[in-house]
Amino acid sequence: MMKGKLTLCLFILAAAMLLSPAAAKAAFAPEPKLSAKAAVVVNADDGSLLYAKNEHEKLAIASTTKIMTSLLTLEAASSDNRVIAVTPEMIRVEGSSMGLRANDRLTLRDLACGMLMVSGNDAANAAAYAVGGTPEKFAAMMNAKAAELGMKDTNFVTPSGLDDDNHYSTAYDMSRLACAAMENGNFAAIVRQKSMEIRFVNPDVTHYYGNHNKLLRLDPCCTGIKTGFTRKAGRCLVSSAEKNGVRIIVVTLNDPNDWDDHETLFKYGFSKLACNKIDDSSMRISEAVVGGVKDSAAVAGTSGNDVVTGSGETLKRSVELPQFVYAPIKAGQVLGCVRYTCGGKTLAKTELTAVEDVGCLYVKKNLLQQFWDSIHRLFPFS
Among 242, 273, 304, identify where a domain stops: 273
What is the residue-level pLDDT of the chain in tens, covering all 382 positions?
A: 333 443 343 333 333 344 333 344 445 567 889 999 999 999 999 999 999 999 999 999 999 999 999 999 999 999 999 999 999 999 999 999 999 999 999 999 999 999 999 999 999 999 999 999 999 999 999 999 999 999 999 999 999 999 999 999 999 999 999 999 999 999 999 999 999 999 999 999 999 999 999 999 999 999 999 999 999 999 999 999 999 999 999 999 999 999 999 999 999 999 999 888 889 999 999 999 999 899 999 999 999 888 888 877 888 999 999 999 999 999 999 999 999 998 888 989 999 999 999 999 876 666 676 667 666 666 765 4
206 and 292 assigned to the same domain: no
CB atoms within 10 A of CB 117: 24
**Catalytic status, residue 35:** no
Instruction: Report the predicted TM-score, pTM, of the whole model to 2 decimal places.
Output: 0.80
Q: State which of 273, 294, 325 marks the end of a domain.
A: 273
Q: 364 lies in a domain?
A: no
CB 17 within 8 A of CB 318: no
Q: Are 274 and 71 in contact (CB under 8 A)?
A: no
Q: How far apart are CA 144 and CA 273, in angstroms?
A: 32
Domain match, 260 and 319 both: no
CATH number at residue 328: 2.60.410
Active-site annotation holder among 37, 70, 96, 119 = 119
Q: Is 3 a catalytic residue?
A: no
119 included as an active-site residue = yes
Q: Are residues 268 and 285 in the same domain?
A: no
Same domain, 324 and 182: no
Residues 129 and 234 in one domain: yes
3-state class of 212 per DSSP? coil
Residue 169 lies in a domain: yes
Check whether residue 229 and residue 251 sit in a common domain.
Answer: yes
- Report if residue 382 sits inside a domain: no
- Torsions phi, psi of 119, nearest 5? 55, 45
What CATH number did the domain enclosing 188 receive?
3.40.710.10
Q: Is residue 317 part of a domain?
A: yes
Total domain count, the chain: 2
pLDDT at residue number 220:
96
What is the Cα–Cα distance from 145 to 344, expressed in whole angstroms? 32
SS3 41: strand
- Specify if 233 maps to a domain: yes
Do 210 and 72 sit in the same domain of this protein? yes
- Per-residue model confidence (pLDDT) at position 297: 94
The residue out of 226, 253, 273 marking a domain boundary is: 273
Q: Do 174 and 137 sit in the same domain of this protein?
A: yes
Q: Which structural domain range is residue 89 located in?
A: 34-273
Query: Among 303, 305, 299, which Cα is nearest to 353's?
Result: 299
Examine the domain organization and report whether 177 and 261 are in the same domain.
yes
Residue 344 falls inside a structural domain: yes
